[in-house]
Structure 1
Amino acid sequence: MFSWLGRIAMACWRPVSQYARMSKDEGDSLGSVDDTLLWCRDLEKHSYGEFSFTVVQANEVIEDHSQVETGSSGTFVGVYDGHGGPEASRFISDHIFLHLMRIARENGTISEDVLRSAFSATEDGFLSLVRRSCGIKPLIASTGSCCLVGIIWKGTLYVANLGDSRAVIGYLGRSKKIIAEQLTEDHNASMDEVRQELRSLHPDDSHIVVMKHGVWRIKGIIQVSRSIGDAYLKRPEFSLDPSFPRFHLPEPIRRPVLRSDPSIYTRVLCPNDKFLIFASDGLWEHLTNQEAVQIVHNNPRAGIARRLLKSALSEAARKREMRYDDLKKFDKGVRRFFHDDVTVVVIFIDHDLMEKKIPGPELSLRGFIDTIGPSNFSILKGIDAVAKSVD
């Protein structure tokens, strides 16, 4: 039986073929892709194996931006879950990988410090854009984005994160059962440790975290405690006037309320590490880490990101007393009542390829866009040459 919200949304059904971004691999074991707000690349190659990539739109304007970059000795994944609009997530997609490649070339390596510098350069660049634009578009000061980045380079995994998108690794335990390990911290006020951190950083602000409509929010407005953008919560000059009540603060901020320094995790990949799942919080709202890795481990690689997404959306539909087949008939905008934009990237790690050091393709793939181009990973070839001469 449909909920009252479902019955209202039923009235909003309309033809959606104009939004279609279809899979390149229709007719597989998952069936044809008839959710016209869904985009996917079911299986592609990278330097250490294969990957599967999917995105579904729920908002009127998609706020999830994402990319996979593959090179001869590296693989990059970026998931950027925007809020308040698509400007920040789109900016990150256009700039953070280029900053990373430039700074890595300047430093002669990829490291945690290089990742931090790439995040900092991206934040500075977006705040500069806000400064130039806010006179004619003041609400750009309220747009922001979570930012999840992973890079595999020379057998080492680096993961950096702002916000509540999540990276999870599936590895084989001693009993040869697949085990999920979360590699990122959730920077979300729903977490007790995040609220404690905020209170310790703002001891003079009794309203730094507020319970609003049953949800913990920072200043009663936002859930994530770290982001790119959200300039009005970081710099006093970007404070919005009362004509924007949704984003209005009762008093000017005296210090940044949100942070832009990422939490970083480093891991030398070992033979028991089988795959990585990078996804925006729209997936993790409906699937646990262990449920997700079980799905990946127990099913064919082709279309596995789409299978994860379908499992999450089926659960979202079930919570609304619906079927997935009914949910996917709703148009964008209306879909946001049931689930968020969702991005899922599954990276398989084939250790025999890592050991053989077979060069992978140099490709740049953006989520929800059907064009593939060359990747700027090529600028690291000089680093590769130096490293090989040292070896």
Structure 2
Amino acid sequence: MQGRRPHQEDRHVKIPDLTKAAQALKMPIDHLEQPCAFLAVYDGHRGPLCAEFVAKSLHLRLLKHLSQPTTKGSEEIGLALKAVCQELDEEFLAKHRTAVDGCTVVMALLTGRLLSVAWLGDSRALLCRTTSAGTVATVPLTQDHRPSAAAEADRVREAGGMIVNLGACWKQLSSLTVVLV
């Protein structure tokens, strides 16, 4: 079987009522459109440490940003998602500098009728919908962050990294992280 591992490296978080969770943590998000929900999948690579760290921390850190009354619209929510990812990346690297593992993430935040999706790495999100013909169609909500994609290769190079083609296997190398694809 492809991807078979002796231990599960992946984690996930599902909070169907984020408003209730925020109230329990004394970080109200009542100013956001309702309902609010949060879903995330963390794909552990080379071990569970990073995926577990992010799964325990990301939604709590996001709630701190969302509880700010100025965080209301899609732009502010997008900035909050990005900030949380950057904060956790820095914190994980500071605490676990020699760790060999990492993780990808795909997350969805529902606020009212707005669905915000954010992702890092090669994790994918698909939206399933019923067509007018009554069949189910999938709509991709993400694009893979792969070094073979021109935009991703440019991003890695601009960050001081390099892309190495090792035959059939591309690798991203940067000064901060090594991402095995």
TM-score by length of 1: 0.36
Whole-angstrom distance in 2 between the partners of 1:63 and 1:100 = 23
Are residues 125 and 198 of structure 1, via their aligned partners in 2, closer, same or farther at CA, if it must alter by over 3 Å? same
- The residue type equivalent to 2:42 in the other structure is Y
Whole-angstrom distance in 1 between the partners of 2:78 and 2:151 = 26
- The residue type equivalent to 1:91 in the other structure is F
Whole-angstrom distance in 2 between the partners of 1:101 and 1:196 = 30
Are residues 115 and 101 of structure 1, via their aligned partners in 2, closer, same or farther at CA, if it must alter by over 3 Å? farther
Whole-angstrom distance in 1 between the partners of 2:87 and 2:143 = 23
Residue in 2 aligned with 1:101? 63
Structure 1 unaligned blocks of 5 or more: 1-5, 7-56, 220-232, 239-246, 248-257, 259-391
- The CA RMSD over aligned residues, in Å, is 3.0
Match 1:127 to one of 82, 90, 93: 90
Whole-angstrom distance in 2 between the partners of 1:109 and 1:61 = 40
Task: State the aligned residue count.
Answer: 160
Matched, 1:63 2:9: yes
Whole-angstrom distance in 1 between the partners of 2:85 and 2:157 = 26
Whole-angstrom distance in 1 between the partners of 2:78 and 2:172 = 26
Are residues 79 and 110 of structure 1, via their aligned partners in 2, closer, same or farther at CA, if it must alter by over 3 Å? farther
Match 2:119 to one of 152, 161, 181: 161
Secondary structure, counterpart of 1:80 in structure 2: strand
Residue in 1 aligned with 2:42? 80
Residue in 2 aligned with 1:211? 165
Secondary structure, counterpart of 1:128 in structure 2: helix
Does structure 1 conserve the Cα–Cα contact (< 8 Å) formed by 2:81 and 2:118?
Answer: no
Are residues 156 and 86 of structure 1, via their aligned partners in 2, closer, same or farther at CA, if it must alter by over 3 Å? same
Q: How does 1:159-308 map to 2 (within 5 A)?
A: 159-189=117-147, 192=148, 194-195=149-150, 197-199=152-154, 202=157, 208-219=162-173, 233-235=174-176
Shift of 1:101: 1.5
Does structure 1 conserve the Cα–Cα contact (< 8 Å) formed by 2:62 and 2:84?
Answer: no
Whole-angstrom distance in 2 between the partners of 1:64 and 1:94 = 12
Does structure 2 conserve the Cα–Cα contact (< 8 Å) formed by 1:195 and 1:209?
Answer: no
- The residue type equivalent to 1:131 in the other structure is A
Shift of 1:197: 4.1
Are residues 132 and 164 of structure 1, via their aligned partners in 2, closer, same or farther at CA, if it must alter by over 3 Å? closer
Q: Deviations over 1:228-277 (max 9, x none)?
A: xxxxx343xx8xxxxxxxx7xxxxxxxxxx7xxxxxxxxxxxxxxxxxxx
Secondary structure, counterpart of 1:75 in structure 2: strand
- The residue type equivalent to 1:76 in the other structure is F
Shift of 1:157: 1.2
Whole-angstrom distance in 2 between the partners of 1:101 and 1:78 = 14
Whole-angstrom distance in 2 between the partners of 1:157 and 1:150 = 7
Whole-angstrom distance in 2 between the partners of 1:128 and 1:200 = 22
Whole-angstrom distance in 1 between the partners of 2:71 and 2:83 = 19
Whole-angstrom distance in 2 between the partners of 1:200 and 1:149 = 21
Whole-angstrom distance in 1 between the partners of 2:156 and 2:92 = 28
Shift of 1:122: 4.1
Shift of 1:196: 5.2
Secondary structure, counterpart of 2:142 in structure 1: coil
- The residue type equivalent to 1:109 in the other structure is K
Shift of 1:160: 0.8
Secondary structure, counterpart of 2:125 in structure 1: strand
> Which structure carries more relative contact order (alpha carbon 8 Å, separation 6+)?
1
Does structure 1 conserve the Cα–Cα contact (< 8 Å) formed by 2:10 and 2:51?
Answer: yes
Q: Deviations over 1:103-142 (max 9, x none)?
A: 11113536343343244334324423432444xxx2x1x4
Whole-angstrom distance in 2 between the partners of 1:87 and 1:75 = 25
Identity %: 20
Shift of 1:210: 2.6
Query: Which runs of 4 or more aligned residues in structure 1 lie more than 6 Å from their structure 2 counterparts after TM superposition?
Result: none
Q: Deviations over 1:190-220 (max 9, x none)?
A: xx4x2454147638x8x9323325222224x
Does structure 2 conserve the Cα–Cα contact (< 8 Å) formed by 1:91 and 1:126?
Answer: no
More strand by share: 2
Match 2:80 to one of 106, 117, 131: 117
